[in-house]
Structure 1
Amino acid sequence: MDKYLIVGLGNVGDEYDMTRHNTGFMVLDAFAKASNIVYDDRRYGFVAETSIKGRKVILLKPSTYMNLSGNAVRYWMNKENIDITRLLVIVDDLALPLGTLRLKASGSNAGHNGLGNIQSVLGTQQYCRLRVGIGNEFQRGMQIQWVLGKYNDEEMKVLTPKIETACEIIKSFVLSGVDFTMNTFNKKR
């Protein structure tokens, strides 16, 4: 059976709920809810499993904290024998306007500590990532406060339908691959 590892980046703990840095967790939570599955507290993270047309899909929310996400990703890839071409990491991105979705087959970490750690641990930039824009409406020197700040109601009105689209992107990635999915979804605004 084909297996896929879908990783949402974020930080565990109630104080991080609904923060911009936990957007990856928010996407995975929405996907799990729509799939009617629940997470188990397992090694290095919260894990849920489902299948899409005969393909096994493992959802992972690392419990290692953002800056050590690579350890969780490597562990679950090895445990489940998942090829790197079937890894998708969902991450918040300051460089994109709120709610903008960008799927990439590879690339730099763009200064994101979670992606940087995954790249360092896996030894490559050649893995798929879905970047979810969180905007950058902060004053100089206030980046950490912005990233760890909670979304307000107006922002959630923009973000919620985009989270639903991100769930569609996950399904398309599993069923049709990264190239088809990039061509389909990266054009949409």
Structure 2
Amino acid sequence: MSFLSKIQALFSPKPALPSANWLVVGLGNPGAKYESTRHNVGYMCQDMLIDAHQQSPLTPITGYKALTTQLAPEVLAVRSTTFMNHSGQGVAPLAKALGIPPERIIVIHDELDLPAGKVRLKMGGNENGHNGLKSLTQELGTRDYVRVRIGISRPPAGMAVPDYVLEPVDHDQPGIALAAEAVDIVVEKGLSAAQNSIHSR
């Protein structure tokens, strides 16, 4: 980039950020290799929400390691363009720029400690070895964000966890549709209402 180009870029107006009061974050790894794996059920759920709300596909947002699309007037779907282990690098700077507090960030992710298809919601808590959550906690500076946990169960005896979570599954994996419903309820009625509705199923 030439000196003149650098000066022009410095003084050019930055693209306007989208409007949002909530961020809905799907965790996963980018690329066709990981597209249909257990570790990517967060992506799958987010895709289902985008389709259900008839919104445009996720697109890059200038200056951030993230893809976004509007789910509703004040709800922004966000996906980090990094790999799972660095998810926070794509989410935290955007949340800060938008002024969205952690308690209004909804993170959809796979959960080994729940039976396959079971969905549970909570605010905060330990990361239980989940590297995507560890990155979010580190970059946000808190554990107090909403978790929508999609159960994938533990691997069978003798199978390593990394091999298990990166094993392909169907896109209609149990729990994904229920998790999408949970996200909508959290936004519309709050976490307690979503827990009351989802945890009884």
- TM superposition score normalised by structure 2: 0.84
Partner residue of 1:133?
151
- 1:73 alignment partner in structure 2: 91
SS in structure 2 of the partner of residue 119 of structure 1 = helix
Paired position in structure 2 for 1:83 = 101
Aligned match of 1:108: 126
Unmatched 5+ stretches in structure 1: none
C-alpha displacement of 1:143: 1.0
Question: Aligned equivalents of 2:134 and 2:155: distance in 1?
Answer: 23
Give, as a single letter, the amino acid of the residue that structure 2 aligns with 1:95: D
1:138 CA drift (Å): 2.8
Q: Letter of the aligned partner of 2:197 in structure 1? A: T
Residue equivalent to 2:41: 23
| Equivalent residue, structure 1, for 2:186 | 173
Please say if 1:124 is aligned against 2:142: yes
Match in the other structure for 2:69: 48
| RMSD of aligned alpha carbons | 1.6
- Aligned-pair CA distance for 1:45: 2.0
Give the alignment partner of residue 163 of structure 1, picking from 176, 184, 193: 176
| SS of equivalent residue, structure 1 residue 172 | helix
Question: 1:137: Cα distance to partner?
Answer: 3.0
Identity of aligned residues (%): 32
* 1:62 pairs with one of 69, 72, 80: 80
Matches of 2:190 and 2:183 in 1, distance apart?
A: 10
**Where does residue 5 of structure 1 map in the other structure?**
23
The higher-RCO structure (CA 8 Å, 6+ apart) is 1
SS at match of 2:148: strand
Taking the aligned partners of 1:164 and 1:113, their CA distance within structure 2 comes to: 24
Q: How many residues align?
A: 180
* Cα distance in 2, alignment partners of residues 158 and 90 from structure 1: 14
SS at match of 1:14: coil
Q: Is the helix fraction higher in 1 or 2? A: 1
Aligned counterparts of 1:39 and 1:183: Cα–Cα separation in 2: 31
Gaps of 5+ in 2: 1-18
* 1:182 lines up with 2:195 in the alignment: yes
Q: Match of 1:21, SS?
A: helix
Q: What TM-score do you get using the length of structure 1 for normalisation? A: 0.89
Task: Tell whether the 8 Å contact from 2:79 to 2:91 is kept in structure 1 after alignment.
Answer: no
Deviation, 1:109, is 0.3
Q: Which amino acid aligns with 1:39?
A: L
